[in-house]
């Protein structure tokens, strides 16, 4: 789950990182009032779950409360990479001397958390990684030992910081890592982390992604969820206990089990197709769950064929087939459906499906090939 900048900044500051605190406005009037309270130059920033707001015109400096109102007028309602701006952050304007990048995330290949830093802050890190990878400093963190004080200082020296700036920087590294661990984040990022004209460290932006599987331990973070920023279908799926991730292809997948769902997408790709989604119906596959899954998959207008892949382990094939048949009575599915059913009671299941006009195969490979063909023909 992603957080907004203002939410991430609040959490960073709870962990002792100095952030550029401001207030949230949802109307130009509110933005003007906040700017008046703050006094002086303010910055008005779009709050959306995407980066590159600066480039898109979603970050504006305003010298007067009236200018803050105008900036909010422009930014509210703006579409930034498909995200509609509903809130702006109004914060004190900052005199920036230098901009850095600092982030903590998981390096899956090395199976350790990694601290990343760069003297090229403000720019998107993906861009730096692509064009000047040598400008990014990486330090792996031993999960048992945490960040060594020397390690944090070392990063500071590699960034070319003046000696008197090292300990302040090292403290921020330590705290950003502590935040990452304590809040079960998969990313904590400050871009830019700035040295102000007065020589002080300040987090001028804040980004944080929380591990969904750990959210149950953080009700305070769960409460920060912004439903406006979430894919409506994925939201719908979560409420029914179905794991669903929308993708860009045209073959809708309905599968029991996360591993099999991954393998199904691989099989589709192997046969030259593109999955429209990842979908794991979860343990059982009752008519209710299958009907719900059909609903989720067919809500996507790109879907040209549906591939149902069920392996009966504890789940019985005949029950699943019953579920599919009942679901099809309830939901009007317009696209061709290909079924692979094997495992416990699969034979009974296939018979039941045949009676309902659906042929099923036992081979996943065959089913994937058929689904790709059906999508092409459609
Ligand atoms: P992003 O583009 O979505 O990452 O949004 P940021 O919060 O990082 O803002 C983009 C850029 O706007 C920063 O890199 C800064 O250069 C600039 N910026 C943001 N806040 C201020 C501010 O208070 N003063 C000044 N001078 N520039 C700012
Ligand atoms: Mn930024």
The reply to whether 235 and 339 lie within a common domain is yes
Rounded to the nearest 10°, the torsion over CA 360, 364, 367, 371 is 130
Return the percentage of the chain with pLDDT > 90, whole number.
Answer: 81
The reply to whether 198 and 157 lie within a common domain is yes
In this structure, which residue's CA is closest to atom 16 in ligand 1? 122
Which ligand sits nearest to residue 44's alpha carbon?
Answer: 1
Q: Which of 54, 55, 60 to mutate to test the pocket of ligand 1 (most atoms within 8 A of CB)?
A: 54
pLDDT digits (tens, 9 = 90+) for 27-59: 999 999 999 999 999 999 999 999 899 999 999
CATH of the domain at 278: 3.40.50.261
Answer whether residue 260 shows pLDDT above 70: yes
In this structure, which residue's CA is closest to atom 9 in ligand 1? 54
CA distances from 324 to 168, 256, 279 (A): 61, 13, 15
Range of the domain at 39: 22-92
Q: Which of 5, 30, 99, 189 is catalytic?
A: 189
Q: Which residues line ligand 1 (CB under 6 A)?
A: 43, 45, 51-54, 59, 61, 93-94, 96, 99, 122, 191-192, 204-205
**Centre of ligand 1 from the C-alpha of residue 59, in Å:** 6
Burial of 19 (0-12, 13-18, 19+ CB in 10 A): buried
Q: Which of 6, 101, 177, 180 is catalytic?
A: 101
Give yes or no: 189 in active site. Answer: yes
CATH of the domain at 204: 3.30.470.20
How far is Cα 244 from Cα 280, in angstroms, rounded to an integer?
7
pLDDT digits (tens, 9 = 90+) for 2-24: 999 999 999 999 999 999 989 99
Give strand ranges (E) for 165-250.
185-196, 201-203, 207-210, 243-246
How far is Cα 223 from Cα 230, in angstroms, rounded to an integer?
14
The reply to whether 31 and 151 lie within a common domain is no
Report the domain count for the chain.
3
The reply to whether 322 and 255 lie within a common domain is yes
pLDDT digits (tens, 9 = 90+) for 220-234: 999 999 988 887 888
How far is Cα 275 from Cα 291, in angstroms, rounded to an integer?
19
Where does the pLDDT of residue 369 fall: very low under 50, low under 70, confident under 90, or very high at 90 and above? very high
pLDDT digits (tens, 9 = 90+) for 309-357: 999 888 888 888 988 998 888 888 899 999 999 999 999 999 999 999 9
Which ligand sits nearest to residue 204's alpha carbon?
Answer: 1
The pLDDT of residue 341: 95
Where does the pLDDT of residue 283 fall: very low under 50, low under 70, confident under 90, or very high at 90 and above? low
The pLDDT of residue 110: 93
- Tell me what the pLDDT averaged over the chain comes to: 94
DSSP 133-145: GGGEEEEEE-TTT
Which atom of ligand 1 is nearest to 50's Cα? 3
The helix (H) or strand (E) run that includes residue 98 is strand 96-107
Which of 38, 58, 92 terminates a domain? The answer is 92
The pLDDT of residue 284: 66
Which atom of ligand 1 is nearest to 122's Cα? 14
The reply to whether 208 and 305 lie within a common domain is no
pLDDT digits (tens, 9 = 90+) for 130-181: 999 999 999 999 999 999 999 999 999 999 999 999 999 999 999 999 999 9
**Centre of ligand 1 from the C-alpha of residue 79, in Å:** 18
DSSP 338-363: EEEEEETTHHHHHHHHHHTT--EES-
The answer as to whether 7 is a domain residue is: no
Q: Which of 205, 206, 207, 208 to mutate to test the pocket of ligand 1 (most atoms within 8 A of CB)?
A: 205
Which atom of ligand 1 is nearest to 207's Cα? 4
The reply to whether 269 and 368 lie within a common domain is yes
Where does the pLDDT of residue 241 fall: very low under 50, low under 70, confident under 90, or very high at 90 and above? confident
Which of 31, 58, 92 terminates a domain? The answer is 92
**Centre of ligand 1 from the C-alpha of residue 162, in Å:** 23
The answer as to whether 5 is a domain residue is: no
**Centre of ligand 2 from the C-alpha of residue 248, in Å:** 27
The answer as to whether 110 is a domain residue is: yes
Rg (CA), the chain: 25
Which ligand sits nearest to residue 47's alpha carbon?
Answer: 1
Strand partners, 280: 243, 255
Where does the pLDDT of residue 68 fall: very low under 50, low under 70, confident under 90, or very high at 90 and above? very high
**Centre of ligand 2 from the C-alpha of residue 123, in Å:** 7
Question: Is-contact 322 328, C-beta < 8 A?
Answer: no
Q: Which of 60, 85, 96 to mutate to test the pocket of ligand 1 (most atoms within 8 A of CB)?
A: 96
**Centre of ligand 2 from the C-alpha of residue 52, in Å:** 7
**Centre of ligand 2 from the C-alpha of residue 192, in Å:** 6
Question: Is-contact 293 261, C-beta < 8 A?
Answer: no
Q: Report helix, strand or coil for 48.
A: coil
Answer whether residue 371 shows pLDDT above 80: yes
Residue 288, preceding bond cis, omega within 30 degrees?
no
Which ligand sits nearest to residue 55's alpha carbon?
Answer: 1
The helix (H) or strand (E) run that includes residue 289 is helix 287-298
Strand partners, 245: 278
Residues contacting 344, CB < 8 A, separation 6+: 312, 313, 314, 315, 316, 317
CATH of the domain at 33: 3.30.1490.20
Structure tokens at 60: 């504006």
Which atom of ligand 1 is nearest to 43's Cα? 23
């Amino acid at each position: 789950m992603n957080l907004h900048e203002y939410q991430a900044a609040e959490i960073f500051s709870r962990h002792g990182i100095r952030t550029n605190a401001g207030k949230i406005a949802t109307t130009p009037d509110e933005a003007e009032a906040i700017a008046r309270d703050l006094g002086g130059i303010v910055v008005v920033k779009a709050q959306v779950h995407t980066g590159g707001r600066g480039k898109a015109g979603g970050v504006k400096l305003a010298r007067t409360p009236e200018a803050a109102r105008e900036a909010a007028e422009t930014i509210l309602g703006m579409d930034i990479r498909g995200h509609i701006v509903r809130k702006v952050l109004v914060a004190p304007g900052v005199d920036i001397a230098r901009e850095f990048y600092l982030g903590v995330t998981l390096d899956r290949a090395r199976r350790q958390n990694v601290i990343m830093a760069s003297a090229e802050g403000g720019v998107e890190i993906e861009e730096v990684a692509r064009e000047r990878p040598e400008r990014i400093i990486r330090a792996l963190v031993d999960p048992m030992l945490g960040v060594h004080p020397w390690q944090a200082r070392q990063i500071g020296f590699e960034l070319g910081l003046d000696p008197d700036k090292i300990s302040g920087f090292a403290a921020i590294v330590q705290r950003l890592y502590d935040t990452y661990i304590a809040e079960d984040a998969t990313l904590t990022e400050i871009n830019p982390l700035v040295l102000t004209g007065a020589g002080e460290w300040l987090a001028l932006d804040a980004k944080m992604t929380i591990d969904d599987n750990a959210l149950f331990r953080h009700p305070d973070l769960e409460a920060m969820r912004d439903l406006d920023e979430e894919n409506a279908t994925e939201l719908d799926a979560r409420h029914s206990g179905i794991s669903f991730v929308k993708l860009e292809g045209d073959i809708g997948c309905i599968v029991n089990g996360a591993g099999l769902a991954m393998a199904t997408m691989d099989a589709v790709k192997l046969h030259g197709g593109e999955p429209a989604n990842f979908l794991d119906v979860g343990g059982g596959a009752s008519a209710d769950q299958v009907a719900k899954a059909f609903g989720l998959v067919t809500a996507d207008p790109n879907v040209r064929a549906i591939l149902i892949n069920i392996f009966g382990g504890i789940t019985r094939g005949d029950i699943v087939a019953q579920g599919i048949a009942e679901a099809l009575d309830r939901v009007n599915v317009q696209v061709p459906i290909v079924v692979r059913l094997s495992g416990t009671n699969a034979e009974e299941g296939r018979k039941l499906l045949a009676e309902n006009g659906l042929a099923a195969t036992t081979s996943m490979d065959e089913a994937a090939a058929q689904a790709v063909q059906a999508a092409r023909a459609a």
